[in-house]
Amino acid sequence: MKNLNFSKFFFIPLLCAGFAANAQDNNLAGSTQPVASTTSSVAFVAKPATVSPLMSEKNLFDQKIAFKNAAFADGSASTFGFGLEPEVLLPLGDFKKASSVGVGINLKALYHLSDAGAVTGTIGYNYFVAKEDVTYKYSGIPIKIGYLAKLSDMFFVEPQIGLYSLRASFKDDEEGGISASTTNLLLAAKVGINIGEKSNLGVSYNYIKVTGGSFTFAGLSYLFTF
């Protein structure tokens, strides 16, 4: 009987056991390494759109543009305004002895300081109808500045000051006839109501200081702006 070599039988199992142990060590070493989480990094980098400075500035810019458009769309927000103001005039005091009624037309400019008021400038022409027993007639050119103050959405007051060029002439004047004119201090005050956004109805009192006395008259006017 041949001698059996037992070393071969022991060598093969030991070799297999070595390979198995090495593989197990490699698996254990791989499981202990940290795994990067892509989910957490994305959540950390991402920012809400609402906190972007760029978006905030854009929203603020859009709001300013919208506010300006709304202001220009509203006619009352305009800085300058112009209007025509026809009026009926009623002489008062001693002036009633010379004339019973008059008519006038004014060109008016308004500079709006705010929604509550505006600086006004007025130039016009007045003509007074002479009574039958009076041989002379009167006309005048008022130049006034004032301040139109809104007391509410409906009512307003407007104090005014200026100059009044008063002209007196004979009714039967022909060319080269006698006439005279003087420039005098004019004080006026008006109260009224707003009719819509671009017109108002007012009642005024006008005082003209002349040498040796005064002329006074009331006025009923209607202003419409454009």
pLDDT (average), residues 156-174: 88
pLDDT for 56 equals 59
Band the pLDDT of 62: cuts 50, 70, 90: low
- Give the integer Cα–Cα distance in Å for 109 and 178: 35
Helix, strand, coil share (%) of the chain residues, nearest 5? 30, 50, 20
CB 82 within 8 A of CB 96: no
Determine if residue 93 is left, alpha or beta; phi over 0 gives left, psi from -120 to 50 gives alpha, anything else beta. left
- pTM to 2 decimals? 0.65
* pLDDT tier, 193 (very low <50, low <70, confident <90, very high otherwise): very high
In degrees and rounded to multiples of 5, residue 112 shows phi and psi of: -80, 115
* pLDDT above 70 as % of the chain: 62
**Structure tokens of 180?**
């005279």
d(CA 149, CA 115): 9
What integer pLDDT is reported at residue 35 of this predicted model? Answer: 46
Lowest mean pLDDT among 41-55, 90-104, 116-130, 166-180: 41-55
User: Could you tell me the pLDDT band of residue 61, with boundaries at 50, 70 and 90?
Assistant: low
Confidence of residue 70 (pLDDT cuts 50, 70, 90): very low
Which pair of tokens denotes residue 218?
A: 């009331």
At residue 107, does pLDDT exceed 70? yes
Alpha helices in the chain (DSSP H): 6-31, 38-45, 53-73
CB 91 within 8 A of CB 128: yes
Query: What pLDDT was estimated at residue 53?
Result: 53
Model pLDDT, residue 179? 86
How many whole angstroms separate alpha carbon 11 and alpha carbon 171?
152
What is the Cα–Cα distance from 172 to 184, expressed in whole angstroms?
26
Cβ proximity of 156 and 148 under 8 Å: yes
Q: Average per-residue pLDDT in the chain?
A: 79
Least confident of 72-86, 132-146, 202-216: 72-86
Q: Among 9-18, 78-87, 131-140, 217-226, where is mean pLDDT lowest?
A: 9-18
- Both tokens assigned to 84: 């025509």
| Cα(76)–Cα(10) distance, integer angstroms | 109
**What are the CB-based long-range contacts (under 8 Å, 24+) for 39-46?**
none
